[in-house]
Structure 1
Amino acid sequence: MFTLKTLHRNKTVKYGVPMLLLVVGGSFGLREFTQIRYDAQKLRKKLDPSLEAKVDLQKQSVMLEEEYEKLKEVNLDEWRNIRGPRPWEDSKEYQDEQRRKLDKTD
């Protein structure tokens, strides 16, 4: 009886142990909840098997040499940097204006 009363008065036992249990137990609980989240995302990202086969074929068919040949054919000397429209500008009008400027310079 004496030791139980002494332990009850001790601040470490009264406040420290429950806090420690809350922190350690909370980390295990959060791990379980986040694992559920990631498992649900994996299920949502799965593709249809026929579509997945097509994607795999496209990934395998891309060769570095073929892409290099495509880039060699592109004429980079005639390339012009055109900025996009600002949020307050009408994109259609701005694109038409940029095209007219390009036509005049060429």
Structure 2
Amino acid sequence: MSVQVFYTFLNYVIYSRYGVPMLLLIVGGSFGLHEFSQIQYDAVKIKMDPELEKKLKENRISLESEYENIKDSKFDDWKNIRGPRPWEDPDFLQGRNPESLKTKTT
């Protein structure tokens, strides 16, 4: 009789050791996923302040107006300056030491 009680208790312990955490993970994950997916729908329902919305509509910049601003710009006078690697001194490479930026012609 005591052996049968021991095996029943052992099976219960194994269930509580593996089964209960798995069920908690499944049920808890379901509630967590619901909360995270609900954020997306709640964000859409938020209304913008009418004054701010009017201000944003007035300051619209069209693609054509930006193209007109950039069209006459000359991009021939730029220099390609390499950024520093993590182990290098940033002051040495960022133009504060002009001797290092001169190109060598051989």
TM range (shorter): 0.3 to 0.5
Structure number with greater CO (CA < 8 Å, separation at least 6) is: 2
- TM-score, length basis structure 2: 0.43
- TM-score, length basis structure 1: 0.43
* Greater helix share, structure number: 1
